[in-house]
Every structure is written in structure tokens, then in C-alpha cells.
Amino acid sequence: MRRIRAARVLAVVLTLLGIQLTWFLSPAWACGCGAMVVDPAQQIAVSDEQSVLRWDGRQEQIVMRLTVTGDAHRAAWIMPVPHRATVRLADPAVFDQLARAVAPVHRTRHHFWPRGGDWPFDDHADGAAAAPAPGAGAVGVVGRQRLGPFDVARLTATDPAALEDWLRANGFALPARLRTALRPYVAEHWEYVAVRLAPDAEGTALAGALDPLHLTFAADRPVYPMRLSRLASTPQSLGLYVLAAHRMEPSTSIGGLPPRTVFAGRLDAPRGALGTLAHGAPYLTALTQRFPQPARISGDHELRRAGTDTPVRQVIDDEELDRIAGVPAWLLTVAGLAVLLAAAIAVVVVRRSRRPVLPPPPVSPPPPLA
């Protein structure tokens, strides 16, 4: 048992070391909906990304919150958008409300015989759990604003090299492969939201959950930018909330595994930040998707109305062992049967011990020999 536990602990340590080594070897240039640019001597990784897309038929809104780790003191984040966008800070409470809205329904299922995790099969060994309107000129700054810790610039670009020049002028170097990945957006006359991130305290690294940003732009169809995620060197995952008048679905898998709907349904009079965001778009669809090979991502996610508005909700079966007064029912049953068997054996033994012992039949002497 000690050898097994030692092997598991060693596996966990090696896994954590492998993750840290991956951070050093492969800087995170891309996240699910945009790209991070950082000083080459520093590192930054997006450990979590939450996004909600709202579309009412004419206008699209994207609320995004990033959680970052690393040693970078500052970074830039680029978000392509199909039309000119307005940007403001969002209320982080909307993500807590969405998480509660799509939370799975738990259903308790009782079982009689013990299973893994029940005594005597429980295991206390530690383990790890295996988540367009182009402006004049090459680059045009159509707006710049300060939002909390963010310096936000809204740009138009007709040449990736011009975008690179702008980033360099503001203290950032654009990686060559990211410049190449931006070319389709330039060809389609998309614009960019460039955000310069800096921690509140000077000289400290960017870490933790950043304030969410709220982008709003015109859209004749809902689209979620994913093309830049093809730059990632490790498998990627997408978790996306979609608010619309009806249930929505991606048009294609864009090079990943088939998208999965984990929740679909109409919101019941939401309040607060979610109520404001969902006004006029009351149907919520929660989508997840895995991208084992990010290089195969072929484009952005274009969403469409699903064939039906059939609701979907995850149900989690919580297995629970039958108990009587806190004692497993199977143990009481086995103990009871053992007691009954012991009592039956005792009765048989007692009865046999009380039977009278009959004397042997008399032995007659043999007849004399002639």
C-alpha cells in the first residue's frame, strides 16, 4: 500500500512539473477569444476564460473575464471584432449568476452493496484531478479610454505590419506567427480592441481574475472569434454562454471535437447583472467544446438557431449507500444473517447434545464349534 501511495504522489509531482515546464517552453500567445502579447523575457498564461455572447438579431455583446498567471508585469490583449466596438467594464456578478442558472440537477440514487469510495473499499490516498468598417490609413485609433486597470484602444488596420508598429510604439512586440494569424481579419476589414493590462501595484506580476470587459458591436449574425486559438501549442477547451431569443448552436466544429450543449432553456425572470444582459434575449444556451489539436482550428464560431428550443439540463446522480441509523444496511444484513446462522448451528448442537444415548444391542456368544 505504501508503494502504491508513493507512486501516486510521484505521478502528481511529475505532472505539476510538466505543466510548469510547458509554461516556460510554450508562452501563451493565444486564448480562446483573442491573443496575449507579452515581453519575450516574461511569461503569462490564461488559466481560465469565461465568456458570454448576447445577440438580439442586430447587435452582439461579448462579456469576457480572464484569469491569468505568470511573472509578467504588463501585457497586451488583442480582440478582433467584425464591426466597430464600444468597450466598458462589466459586472463580474453575471458569471456567478450564469453558473447558478446552468448548475446540474443532483439526483440521489441509493445502492445496497458497497462500491468504490464506500467502506471497506474507500481509498484515502491523495490524488490529482485529472477546463467591419476600415478607417483611413494603415492603422487608425478610433478611440482610447482608461477602464480601471486597462488602457483600451480601438483600432482599424489594413496591414498586420501596421498593427505591429502600433504595438511596438506602445511597448510590445508582435510575435511573427500572431501577425500571420491576423491577416484573415485584416482582409475582411475587421477592427481590433487592443487592451494594455497592468497590475494596480507597480512592479507586481499580473495574476488572478481580471476585471471583465463588455464589448458591443453591430452583427447581422452571431460570431465568436476563435481563429487565433490555433496558435496554442496545448489542447484548448471552450466554454461559452449564449443569450438569444432561441436556442443556438455552432454551424460547424471548426476543427475541434463536436460541440456539446450542457444547458438550454429560458431564464425565469433573472435579476441584477444577468437580468440586464438577458433583456430581449431570454434563452440561454451553454456550450462546451474541446480542441485536441488547436492547429486544426479553421475559423471563427458562427452560431445559428437550433432546430428546436428543446430544453437541456445535466443531471448528476449522487450515489448513496443505504444506511439504517447511520450503519450500512448491507453490514447489518450480513451481521444479522451471521447471527441467525450461528444461532441455527447452536440449536443443532444443543439438540444433538440432549439426545439420549441408546445402549448398544446385546452381543450373543457364537455357537460352539462341532
- Positive or negative: CA dihedral 155, 156, 160, 164: negative
Say if CB 56 and CB 244 are below 8 A apart: yes
In whole angstroms, how far apart are CA 268 and each of 172, 277, 283, 312, 328?
45, 14, 10, 15, 41
Which residues lie across from 192 on neighbouring strands? 80, 155
Q: Which three cell numbers stand for residue 163?
A: 498593427
Predicted local confidence at residue 200, as pLDDT? 64
Edge-to-edge strands, sheet with 301-305: 223-224, 301-305, 248-250
pLDDT of residue 147: 85
Helices (H) and strands (E) in the chain, counts: 7, 22
Distance separating alpha carbons of residues 28 and 25, to the nearest angstrom: 10
Give pLDDT, residue 191: 87
pLDDT per residue of the chain (370 residues) written in tens, 0 to 9: 444 444 443 343 333 333 332 322 233 334 544 577 777 777 776 767 789 999 999 999 999 988 777 777 777 888 899 998 999 999 999 999 999 988 887 666 666 566 666 556 555 444 333 333 333 345 677 778 888 778 888 887 666 666 777 777 777 777 778 878 888 888 888 888 888 877 666 666 677 778 899 999 999 999 999 998 888 777 888 889 999 999 999 999 999 999 999 999 999 888 999 999 999 999 999 999 999 998 899 999 999 999 999 999 887 766 676 677 767 777 778 777 888 888 888 878 877 777 776 777 777 777 777 6
Q: In which residue are the cell numbers 488572478 written? A: 208
| SS3 at position 159 | coil
User: For residue 75, which phi and psi values (nearest 5 degrees)?
Assistant: -160, 165
Which grid cell sits at 219?
Answer: 452583427
Count Cβ neighbours within 10 Å for each residue of 96-122 and write b for 16 or more, e otherwise.
ebbeebbeeeeeeeeeeeeeeeeeeee
Q: With 0-12 CB in 10 A as exposed, 13-18 as middle and 19+ as buried, what is 21?
A: exposed
Reference 294, options 111, 12, 35, 85; nearest CA is 35
